[in-house]
Structure 1
């Protein structure tokens, strides 16, 4: 998936390493200073590169944040593949529990994950929305999780994937916001409430429900 905020995609190893250092610096600074206070100057200083280097690769701060979000999404899917491989046959309710568990783990361990979401990762491009529907920001997460569920986890199609996936993602985000507002490791009671909510919802709306 392409990031429209990328000016030049690195090819040589040296450039790839430099971009990864920039993204790492961006992620750590997000945890330290927050999204609003983040500047490209500070990111460049933390990454040990000239400020102009960021603009060689990214369309400023928005492009850098999109790329970090896409990297986080790729990491989420990699970890989900490992969990799915360990599970064997899945149902939609169990798959939702796994997504929640992996997301909680990443919020605890991946720098910048609690700050950057996927809402701006694709302004345009193909979508899994039904014909005639208006595309909205954030569909990238719903779409990639849905196709992962079908293509890699072997789950049956949902009757209304757009609305189901969007609502499930928003409900998960709300539960985790409450959980991590109370504790940097997440309030286990609120996380469990989120798990209960997701399991009940997918039990009701999935084909096997």
Structure 2
């Protein structure tokens, strides 16, 4: 899927490195100053590039944030590939636990992830991901995770999959909000409650596949 916030995809190594440096600077500044105070000029200064270079690649600040969100999604998928390689007999309930665990780990370690994870899910906030097949933010995440589960993890198809995935994503977002609102490392007991909730939900919905 094309990213409408990216003006052009870099192909030369030098340009690729420059884009990665811009995104790294953006992520660092999100942790330092927050979303509302983030400016193109500050990102350019931190990345060591002219501000015009950012506009060569990105459609302003929203495009830069959208690309950072997509990079975080690709990072999650890469981490999941490592996990599923070690768990060949994966089930939907176990997969839900693994996704939660990896997302929590990213929340603790990936710069900027507490502000822009896979999309901006603040109430009333703009989405930094391109829309999916329907007009709701977050569909890209639901689609990518579901197709990953079927095509790479070998899980069986679910009934009503996009509603299931979107609900699970929102539940995970709520777990993260509750877990990390009071401590930067997260409330482990709240994460455990979220794991139990997601596991129980996927035990129920995945059992419909075999009825």
Q: TM-score, normalised by structure 1?
A: 0.93
Superposition pairs for residues 108-187 of structure 1, below 5 Å?
108-116=108-116, 117-118=118-119, 119-123=127-131, 127=133, 134-187=134-187
Partner of 1:194 in structure 2?
Answer: 194
Q: Which residue of 1 aligns with 2:42?
A: 42
Offset at 1:114? 1.3
Question: How far off is 1:208 after superposition?
Answer: 5.4
- How many residues get paired? 201
Q: Which moved more, 1:36-45 or 1:115-124?
A: 115-124
In 1, Cα distance between the equivalents of 2:154 and 2:99? 15
Give 1:203 deviation, angstroms: 0.6
- d(CA) in 1 for partners of 2:112 and 2:3? 18
| CA drift at 1:120 | 2.8
Q: Which residue of 2 aligns with 1:16?
A: 16
Runs of 4+ displaced beyond 6 Å? none
Look up the match of 1:131.
none
**Aligned equivalents of 1:103 and 1:69: distance in 2?**
13
Residue 10 (structure 1) shift: 1.0
Q: CA RMSD in A?
A: 1.2
Cα deviation digits, residues 71-116 of structure 1 (max 9, x gap): 0000000000000100121110000000000001111111011111
Unmatched 5+ stretches in structure 2: 120-126
**Matches for 1:37-116 after TM superposition, within 5 Å:** 37-116=37-116
Contact 1:96 1:199 in 2 (8 A): yes
Distance in 1 separating the partners of 2:187 and 2:14: 41
Structure 1 residue runs of 5 or longer lacking an equivalent are 128-133
The answer (yes or no) to whether the contact 2:63–2:128 under 8 Å persists in 1 is: no
Task: Tell me how far apart the structure 2 counterparts of residues 64 and 163 of structure 1 sit (CA, whole Å).
Answer: 29
